Each structure stands twice: as structure tokens, then as C-alpha cells.
A and B are shown apart, each in its own frame.
Chain A
Amino acid sequence: MATFIVRRLIASIFIFLAATYLMYILTALSGDPLEDLRTSTAPNKQQLIEARTALLHLDVPPYLRYFIWIAGVGKCFIGQCDLGVTVQNQPVTVLLAQAAGSTLQLVTIASVIAIILGLVVGITTALRQYSGYDYGVTFLSFLFFSLPIFWVAVLLKQFVAIGFNDFLSDPQIAPWIIPILAVISGLIWMSILPGKGRRKLITFAAAALASAAVIIYMDLSDWFSYPHIGIVGVALTLVGAAFGVTTISTGLKNRRALYASLVVAGIGVAAWYPFIYFTTGLPFWGWIGIGVATVLVALAVGWFMGGDDRRPVARTAAIVGFVAFSVLSLDRFMQVWDDYANSGRIKGRPIATIGSGTPGLEGSLWVHGVDLFTHLLLPTLALILISFATYTRYSRASLLEVMNQDYIRTARAKGLTERTVVVRHAFRNALIPIATIVAFDIGGIIGGAVITERVFGWTGMGALFQNGLDHVDPNPVMAFFLVTGSLAILFNLIADLVYAGLDPRIRVS
């Protein structure tokens, strides 16, 4: 397997080098880098032209100039990156370091969310083929496919950001909206959950009533100004998660797994008070450390309660542990929301429309986390819509294809439970084609990020790329491509690893 991965990696590095050569030449030939100087009326025009020619090596033809650039890139391996300078004589390496962080954050978060959502929705629609839910999602994914990303981004900026900020200044939900929201939620749940006739009506009524109760509670407790989950909410969520995760991971019949999950959920509830009140000065790595520790503790709980069959129990407990950590962290982030939204820099309009972070914001890890959330929310939404549609369609088609295979019929005939058939036999095999699509789609997400960043006024890599291209300056353009290309190679590598994990034929030969 290692040979397989290494061979793929070497091949993709050579392809990437060839792609950089192509990009360099195309960019260098896309216009005249001296155009603004040639038409200028400055008295020292000739001098300026010579200075720029010397600065950017314009006297060397592009197909050779590439090698000057690639030699500078090669120095990265000895720790002295030199990606050249821009037209304004700024070192690109420094510019890239400033720009890359926010863009990579955006692209990575958007990809991960789109993959998870797309898989979950795609698989549930495949399992509930020809239901109202299936038709609804199919229509929505066609609509999302057809949306121009910049149009969505501008709309989000206008309506979600400005509208939601206006709402937050006086967070009262009008009484006539509550029944509408309740009915919509009831309809959605009714179409997702199985059943016919009476069962459907009961689902509808329960979902609608529950939604109405939650909304009224939020309204009365001024939840939108002071969001929180609270110890009751955490307890309910974690017990629900324990049952849900166990159902999918091992099945409720495995009592050991259920009890281990419940114990982990209990630990999570017990940890709520110390986690909320003693983590004010926590550094970022401390937070990650707590997360890792939580999962390890949960693993240990599962291991010791697992009896004869430790691995699935430990796995289930670890997933519940991760959920517990996420819920506690979410509650902790919510605690600082009010302080954040009403601080002097934000002035009560928290959802940001410009930039990738509030400049000069000071505060704890939690405040910075909330700041990141308010800035990433809309660009991420705009970015995931389209990839979400792709992943949903592909995972649905792929699971339907697998469910029609003979080995699924055999598995059913053996008397396996539906859970085992779907999760262990069908899902694993359905993931193989999806891994290809995800790796292939990363280029689309990066392209979308360029457009989204422009709408939201980020000074990220999209701006670096555009400024470089506008001045016919290959160096910043290539810096952009270097990072995005490496990201694409990385995702392909992950896809290969996932392949090898899923398909024993690749692992063995």
C-alpha cells in the first residue's frame, strides 16, 4: 500500500510541476507587464521601464524565466523560500503568508462541512428514495447547481447579514411567524421519517409542537441576545447523542455500547460546570488538548466496559466523547456572544460583511472563535451550496447503485439487520466513488473562494491572484497556484488513503 501511495504522490508532483510551467507561461503571456509605463507621461519613463525589467527579469523570455522562479521555490526545502517580488517590489513570500491563512481556513471548513452535509443528506435521500424528502432535496440540489456563486454571495450579504443584524438589535419573533415556522418544521420531519397515514400525522404534530415550544422559549428567554445551551440542554443533547450514535455505530441491542455511551455522556454533563467557568484564559493548544483528552477518556471508558467485544464499544464511546466536547465548546463560545456583539468594535452588528476578521480585536480564545464564526459564516454558506449539491447527488446515486448489488441481497438473506446491511455493507462501498469526486471537486471550491472573497472584500489569496493577474505579474499568481495546487494534491492523497482503507484490493496489491 505504501508503494501505491508513494507512486501516486510522485506522479502527482510531476503533474503539478508541469501545470505550474503551463500556468507561468500563460500568465506571463496574458498581457504586457509594462503597459502602464509605456503610456505614462513621466519624464523618467525609460528609467522606470528599465527598473521594472530588471526587477522582474523581463528581459528573460517567459519559458526560461520560469526556471528563475522554480529555483526560488526550490529553496523552500532549505528554509529560504523566495517566491519573487511583485510589481511594487514587495516580496511575495510575505504577502502569501498574510493571505494564505484566511483562505485556507475558508476552503477547508467549507469542504469539510459540504462533505459531511452532502453525505448525510445524500444517503438519507437514497434510503428514502421517491419520498417527498427525496424529491425536495433533488429539486433543491438542481437549484443550487444552477446558482451563480457571486449572486448568492451578494444576496447573503444583503439579506442575511444586514437583515439578521437588524433583527438582533430587537430580537423579537413576531407571533404570526411562529406557527409558520412550526408547520414548516413539521412538514420537513414528516417527509424525512418513515411511516404512513397516522404515523405521519403524529410525526408532523410532534415536530411542529416541539419546534413551536423551542421558538417560544427562545423568544421569552431573550435567547438571541444571550445564546446558551445550559446544563439541561447539554444533558438532553448528550443523552440523545448517546442513543443516536449507538444506534448507527453498533445498534441498540449492544447494551454494553449503550451503557458506555451513557457513561461518557454523564461525564460530559459533569464536566459542564468546570469547563464553562474555568477556561477563560485557555490557549488554543490547551483547547485542542482537552478535546484529545476527552476522546481518550471516552475510548478508555469504552475499552473497560466493552467486555468481550471491546473495539466497537470503544469506537462508539469515543464518538460520543467527541460530540460531548463539541457541545461543551459550543456552549462556551455562546457564553461570550453577548460581550462580543456589544463590544466597542462590533457595535451590535455581529454578522460581518467585509473582511476575514475584526482588526485589532483583543480577547480570549473564545472571543476570537466567535469573531471567526461571524466572518466565516456567509462566505462558507455561499461556498458550500454548490459543492453540497454535487456531493448529495453523487452519494445518493452511488448508494442506490450499491443497494442494487447482489451482495446486498445476500447480506439481507443472511438475516443481517438493516443497520448492518446499510452501514457496513452498503455505505463503505458507496464511499469509494465519492472519494474521487471530493478530490476532484476541490478545484471548484478554490475557484469559488476567489469569487466569494471578492464579494466579501477579503484580502486573501483571491485578491493576491487578481492583483497579480491585473498587472501581468506571474509571481503572485504562481504563489496562489502553488498553495491551491498543493491543497489539491493533499486532498487527492487523502482520497487515495481513503480508497486504500475502503477497498482491500488496493491495500493488498
Chain B
Amino acid sequence: MSTIPPPVEQPGHHEGGVTDAENSIELKEIAGLSQGQIVRKRFFRHRGALISMVVLAFIIVLAFTSVGVAFGNWKSGGWWPYTWNIAVAIENGGRPTLSLFPFAIGNHPFGQDEIGRDIFAVVMRGTQQSLMIMVIVGAIATFIGTVIGAISGYYRGWTDSVLMRFTDIIITIPVIVIGAVLGRRFGISGAPVLAIILGLVLWTGLARLVRGEFLSLREREFVDAARVAGARDRRIIFRHILPNAIGVIIVNSTLLMAAAILIETGLSFLGYGVQAPDTSLGKIISENQVAFSTRPWLFWWPGLFIIAIALCINFIGDGLRDAFDPRQRRMPTDKALSRATFVTEKSA
């Protein structure tokens, strides 16, 4: 960067503040709507988030219907003819049969590995595991983080000190390190156990954020009013303060889920995550990274699914942030702005 570029003036839009025209657009859009409706409306106009929702839903349906689900000994079949743990005769040298021109899916669209397992089935099973881990980690970490943050932010004093020092202790240990140590012990017990354990260490960032929110919200007038009206602490925390902090919590728990999926795949790659005979996206990559030059498809597909899931979650999180944060205005189009400017000038 050699020069600081001067700001470009947009018509009717000032860098530092908000014009009347912008305000009138904003007010007209939200007139007569409830908070939930405003949030929903703002979320649905974030195009990236909307597309991500559709893609993620497609991936979830694809992963769970194609090869069916299995818990322990119970199994349900899917519409895909192969499963992730049974090898079949190798066709076509194991190369993927998926082609776009002319479009064809073939018997093994993602190819086969060296013993003949269908990679599509393996990747689908891995996607299932990663999605499940993501949801469990998200739920547990959000719950713990919210409770600890809420209690220490609301009560302050020594409760706050104890809880926050405890949070600091966990934060000091890099997530991958504590995840590996715990994964080595609990990875054999299956993916759900691993997910619970990961959830137990990933809540720290959220706890700090929720605490900060509570510290500022508890000084507000509506909390004083509730206290004067005789509400007990539990009611104030859950009915008065928590709904006001829900934006921060939801946004950060989505980002937490995106982080969880990357951490799980990273741990599985190092060998401390999901263990054989089960599989996960990280484990597939770890097993096949030496075969990259001969069988690159073993490597491409699981990676693409990890990126697709994490990218979708991140975009949904961004959409939620825009929806919940009233300070983050969408920039109105020039046309809408000039019309609004015209209207406000005429009425003035």
C-alpha cells in the first residue's frame, strides 16, 4: 500500500453517520414487525446465507439418506447400493465414474480405494459423523458457555473471579492439544463420546462473550425495573437478560460449530479422533494422503465436503450476525436511496 486512498462519496451516504434517507428506509422496512420477524427478514435477504442454508440442507439429506444410519448394531439401509465398510470388485481401476460432459454418475461416482470400498459411501458416512459431531459439540459448548458466562456476568464478585480464572486455565491450552489428549482416551468410544468431550473444552470463548454481554445488560433500566417488581435472579437471568443476549449466543455458536468440524477432522487426521472401523472425513484424508499421486480422488472428495460444510456454516453465521446486529446496516442501493432522499426532502 503506497497511498491512503480518499474515501469515495456515495450519493446521500456519509462515511461517518447515517443520513435521514437511510434511516427512513430502515424504519419503513421494520415498521410494525416483531423482533423475530425483523431478524428473519434481515436473514433472508443475506444471499450468501440463504444459498448456504440450501446447500447445507442438501448435504445433510444426501449424507443421511444415501447410505443409511447406523448406531451400534442397529442399521437402516439407504438408497445407495454400497456401504462404507464392505469392499466390492474394483472397476475401472478405481477411478471415479462421475463425469459432467456427457453427464454420467456411473457405479462409483467418487471412485474406489485400493481394497475396493466405494468412496461415495465412505465420504457420506464420514460426512454423517462430522455433522453429528458438529451438532453435539455446538449444543454442549453453547450450553456450558452460556451458563458460565451468564452466572459470572450476572453475579460478578468472587463467583465471576473463580469462573473466569477457570476459563483462563482452559483457554491457555491450545484446543488441538487438549483435544488430542482427551481424544486419545475417548476416541475409541465412538464419535458421540468424542463430540461430548470436545464440547466440554470448546465453550471458553463463548463464556467470555456472554459474560461481557451480561455485564453490560445487567446495568440497564429494564433489569432494575424487573428487580424492583420483585423478580428473582433466575427469572431476571432467563426471561430478561438472556433474550437480549441471544444474538451474540446464536452467532457465536454457529461459528463454534464451524470450528468444531475443522477440529474434529484435524484430530482424526492426527489419529486422535474417530477410530477404525468407523470413519470420518479427516480420517479418510489421513489414511490416503500418501496415495495422492496415484489416487487423488481419495483425497479430493472428503476435503471438498469439509470445506463445503464449514463454508456454509460460516456464511449462515455471517447472515445471522447481520440479522441480529442493528448496527450492521445493509447499504441501500443507489436507486432506493435516491428515492428515499427525494421523499424525505419533500416532506421536510
Q: Which of A13-21, A163-171, A267-275 contacts B (4 or more CB under 8 A)?
A: A13-21
Do A142 and B176 touch (CB < 8 A)?
Answer: no
The answer, among B6, B172, B175, B315, for a CB contact under 8 Å with A15, is B172
**Chain A: interface residue total (CB-CB under 8 A):** 65
Do A455 and B289 touch (CB < 8 A)?
Answer: yes
How many Å from the CB of B209 to the closest CB on chain A? 12
Q: Which residues does chain A contribute within 8 Å of B2, judged by CB atoms?
A: 240, 243-244, 247
Do A148 and B292 touch (CB < 8 A)?
Answer: no
Chain B 172-187 per-residue mask, 1 if CB under 8 angstroms from chain A, else 0? 1111111011101100
Cβ-closest chain B residue relative to A465: B177
Do B4 and A150 touch (CB < 8 A)?
Answer: no
Q: Which residues does chain B contribute within 8 Å of A124, judged by CB atoms?
A: 1
Question: How many A-B pairs with Cβ below 8 Å?
Answer: 164
Do B4 and A422 touch (CB < 8 A)?
Answer: yes
Residues A484 and B174 in contact in the complex (CB < 8 Å), given A29-B185, A143-B311: yes
Q: Which residues does chain A contribute within 8 Å of B185, judged by CB atoms?
A: 26, 29-31
B285 in contact (CB, < 8 A): yes
Do A466 and B265 touch (CB < 8 A)?
Answer: no
Q: Is the interface of B mostly helix, strand, loop or mixed?
A: helix
Chain A 190-214 per-residue mask, 1 if CB under 8 angstroms from chain B, else 0? 0001101000000000000000000
Q: Which of B121-129, B131-139, B141-149, B302-310 contacts A (4 or more CB under 8 A)?
A: B302-310
Do A142 and B314 touch (CB < 8 A)?
Answer: yes
Q: Which of B76-84, B163-171, B229-237 contacts A (4 or more CB under 8 A)?
A: B163-171
Do B17 and A127 touch (CB < 8 A)?
Answer: no
Q: Which of A42-50, A51-59, A444-452 contacts B (4 or more CB under 8 A)?
A: A444-452
Cβ-closest chain A residue relative to B321: A397
Q: Which residues does chain A contribute within 8 Å of B4, judged by CB atoms?
A: 127, 247-248, 418-419, 422-423
A136 in contact (CB, < 8 A): no
Q: Which residues does chain B contribute within 8 Å of A477, judged by CB atoms?
A: 181
Bound complex: CA A477 to CA B182 (Å): 13
Bound complex: CA A408 to CA B17 (Å): 10
Bound complex: CA A147 to CA B285 (Å): 13
Cβ-closest chain A residue relative to B183: A30
The answer, among B5, B172, B270, B307, for a CB contact under 8 Å with A451, is B270
Residues A148 and B266 in contact in the complex (CB < 8 Å), given A240-B2, A465-B177: yes
Do B306 and A148 touch (CB < 8 A)?
Answer: yes
Q: Which residues does chain A contribute within 8 Å of B327, judged by CB atoms?
A: 404
A223 in contact (CB, < 8 A): no
Chain B 228-266 per-residue mask, 1 if CB under 8 angstroms from chain A, else 0? 000000000000000000000000000000100010011
Q: Which residues does chain B contribute within 8 Å of A19, judged by CB atoms?
A: 169-170, 172-173
List A residues at the B interface (Cβ < 8 Å): 15-16, 18-19, 22-23, 26-27, 29-31, 120, 124, 127-128, 130, 142-143, 145-151, 154, 158, 193-194, 196, 240, 243-244, 247-248, 403-404, 408-409, 412, 418-419, 422-423, 440, 443-444, 446-448, 450-451, 454-455, 465-466, 469-470, 472, 477, 480-481, 484-485, 488
Extra contacts, 20 of them, besides A193-B5, A409-B16 (Cβ < 8 A), are A15-B172, A30-B181, A30-B182, A30-B185, A145-B314, A146-B310, A150-B282, A150-B289, A154-B292, A154-B299, A158-B292, A247-B4, A422-B4, A443-B175, A446-B176, A447-B174, A448-B176, A466-B180, A480-B177, A481-B177
